[in-house]
Amino acid sequence: MEINADFSRRVAVHAARLPWVPSPMAGVERRMLDRIGDEVARATSIVRYAPGSRFSAHTHDGGEEFLVLDGVFQDEHGAFPAGSYVRNPPTSRHVPGSAAGCILFVKLWQFDPADRKEVKVNTAGMAYDAAASRPGVESLALFRDDCEDVRLERWMPDGAIELDLPGGAELLVLDGSFDEAGERFEPLSWLRLPTGSALQAKAGPTGCRLWMKTGHLLTIQGGAFLGRRPSL
């Protein structure tokens, strides 16, 4: 299966409008944003756990990155409420589930195979900082290394947003809205811009809060993390 697998192209998906697709585990459903592979895949998805549902124990050979959008996600390492950002690197293992139900933004098999850094951040109540040289933008750092920069951003109401993206970008709207290339992006809308792009957007009348990752598509388009056997 290939969904939005050409990383040289701009891709926009309004996930709130997509149907939920059942996963192999009862009570766990997905909205697929990009995917290379079948049930074992390099994938970016919105995932919904029904109350009391869980996956069986598994190892993430290619790593897993997720942001809890709603509810509480749980595994043997703890409980992660809405706003939690987690990076489970390659070789990590867990039994994921949710007693109360939850919705996640999930990225699978998108790590450097040698990466072993774990990240667990509850962003609720954390302070944002003014973004350097970007008026009207506040940022909350989640993770950064030589390949990528992951953060939450807040854009002021009706703010003009411009950013050069030599390494490409992904954006997921959490609250509010923005317009880009004549298209309106609202909660759960996802935009992927290829390497060499320039973001030119305007925040909506109530502003916008979003998850953003930049820089990583240089590596993806180079093929470094593609073509290996991924693992859930």
Rounded to whole angstroms, the Cα distance separating 120 from 51 reads 23
Q: Is the pLDDT of residue 226 over 50?
A: no
Say how many C-beta atoms besides its own lie within 10 A of residue 152's C-beta: 22
CB within 8 A of 116, min separation 6: which ones? 89, 90, 91
Q: Is the pLDDT of residue 221 over 80?
A: no
pTM, to two decimals: 0.92
Q: Is the pLDDT of residue 225 over 80?
A: no
Q: Is the pLDDT of residue 170 over 50?
A: yes
- Find the distance separating the first CA and the last CA of the chain, reported in whole Å: 15
Average pLDDT score, the chain: 91
Shared domain for 116 and 172, answered yes or no, is no
Instruction: Check which CATH number belongs to the domain holding 56 and give it.
Output: 2.60.120.10
Shared domain for 134 and 117, answered yes or no, is no
Q: Which domain holds residue 193?
A: 129-218
Percentage of the chain beyond pLDDT 70 is: 94
Which two structure tokens, joined as six digits, stand for 82? 């809405």
Rounded to whole angstroms, the Cα distance separating 156 from 2 reads 36
Shared domain for 101 and 24, answered yes or no, is yes
Residue 102 within a domain: yes
- pLDDT at site 227: 36
Domain count, the chain: 2
Q: Give mean pLDDT, residues 55-66.
A: 85
